[in-house]
Amino acid sequence: MDRIKIRGGAPLNGTIPISGAKNAALPLMTASLLTADTLELHNVPRLADVATLLRILENHGVDHAVAGKRPGQTTETGQTIRLSAGTVIDTCAPYELVSRMRASFWVIAPLLARFGEARVSMPGGCAIGTRPVDLLLSALEKMGVAIEIEGGYVHAKAPKGVRGAEVVFPKVTVSGTHVALMAATLATGTTVIENAAREPEVVDLAECLAKMGARISGAGTSRIVVDGVSRLNGASHAVMPDRIETGTYAMAVAMTGGDVTLENTRPELLRSALDVLETVGVEISESNKGIRIHRNGSGLRPADVTTDPFPGFPTDLQAQFMALMTRAGGTSRIRETIFENRFMHVGELARFGAQIRLEGDCAIVDGVGRLKGAPVMATDLRASVSLVIAGLAAEGETEIHRVYHLDRGFEALEAKLARCGADIERLRAS
């Protein structure tokens, strides 16, 4: 298995192009199943999760073409993918594929909406808590879908088609909102989704669905209304910038010091995280090129943070912020409210000399002056990148094992950091 080796201590200076958002690309690709026409997606990141979803769509019979690189494009520029679900040959999504990535379960919604039937394996993905699908299934049941669970598979049927309904989520769920939204586009009648997720990725999906002919209002608020239509058409859509990648590199610069402009991204996608970074002593300015992150030699102040659904502080930046606070001059409290068991990075950060203790859903971080490089193990997608950030600032050498987690969500990570001065390399498994 590949490893990443980092010699820490170098500040980061330069520009980093931000890729298309993984968490938007996945539902957008899934939406291709809603139409027999071609859906063209631009700015799709080159990631293992995208490749996994392409295999799942292929298994359903979706044709896909990935456009070749154009002159001037680098491996850091997103790709264009054309997806055509003209002939769907199978409405079953098998265990071998779905178990690799939780988001692949979402194919259940377009398959049901267009074909009235789907058989989808229960999902897998990052080991961050139990991550059930009960809310997704009860939303579908509300929409007239009969659900049976057998042998690890969800068998969902709506022989007369999906029905518009009032879906009230008892807690905010991004996956639930994506699924209800996709199912509602081809339902008979009107669907109202209450307590909907307001995440920008939901808005991106809704915008693409609207281009495909869906009738949606309220995306980005907690009440989304969808008037079902009988068919959707093809469309062309550019995936929004990755706000988690943006926040991750912002925290890397905050950690090492330096001056980096994050290009092709937008501050409003991660306002809460940028506000916290300013509180701890990072200088941030915005221009039409992107977001400039600057920290000189001055120390970092501690801060208390609680993760929340958008527009709150994202859970997907919690591990990275914890890495940052290990170097603050004082004590920070970081509370995780979205996922239980999302503190697996704590033990690994301790290997750098970090002082962190857990009290229930709260991590209490006592800042230490310096971190020391260490061999560490990546445990999940966002936790892994917190180890990269710690390694960049630590004295000496860090070796990160199991980096396949990073490849699921960060496009050209080493190249982007190396061009800003980081001493980082991938050691390929022989």
Q: So which residues are the catalytic ones?
A: 126
131 binding ligand UD1? (CB under 6 A) = yes
d(CA 51, CA 46): 8
Beta partners for 333? Answer: 364
- Kindly tell me which of 139 and 424 has the beta carbon lying closer to ligand UD1: 139
What are residue 302's phi and psi, to 5 degrees?
-75, 165
Site stretch for ligand UD1 (CB under 6 A), options 12-20, 32-40, 132-140, 264-272: 132-140
Report, in Å, the least distance between residue 155 CB and ligand UD1: 17
Burial 92-110 (b: 16+ CB within 10 A, else e): bbeeebbbbbbbbbbbbbb
Among 173, 248, 264, 326, binds ligand UD1 (CB under 6 A): 173
Residue located via tokens 């995280």: 273
316 binding ligand UD1? (CB under 6 A) = yes
Structure tokens at 222: 């907690």
Report, in Å, the least distance between residue 101 CB and ligand UD1: 8
- Kindly tell me which of 140 and 374 has the beta carbon lying closer to ligand UD1: 140
With beta carbons less than 8 A apart as the criterion, state whether 234 and 251 touch: no
DSSP percent split of the chain into helix, strand, coil, nearest 5: 35, 30, 35
Q: How many CB atoms lie within 10 A of CB 385?
A: 30
62 binding ligand UD1? (CB under 6 A) = no
- Site residues (CB under 6 A) for ligand UD1, limited to 354-413: none
Residue located via tokens 């490749």: 51
* Calculated CA dihedral for residues 178, 180, 184, 185, nearest 10 degrees: 10
- Site residues (CB under 6 A) for ligand UD1, limited to 133-162: 133-136
174 binding ligand UD1? (CB under 6 A) = yes
Type of residue at 118: A
Q: How many residues bind ligand UD1 (CB under 6 A)?
A: 20
Binding mask 21-40 for ligand UD1 (x = CB under 6 A): --x--x--------------
- Site residues (CB under 6 A) for ligand UD1, limited to 97-126: 102-103
Which residues of the chain form contacts with ligand UD1 (CB under 6 A)? 23, 26, 102-103, 129, 131-136, 171, 173-176, 315-316, 338-339
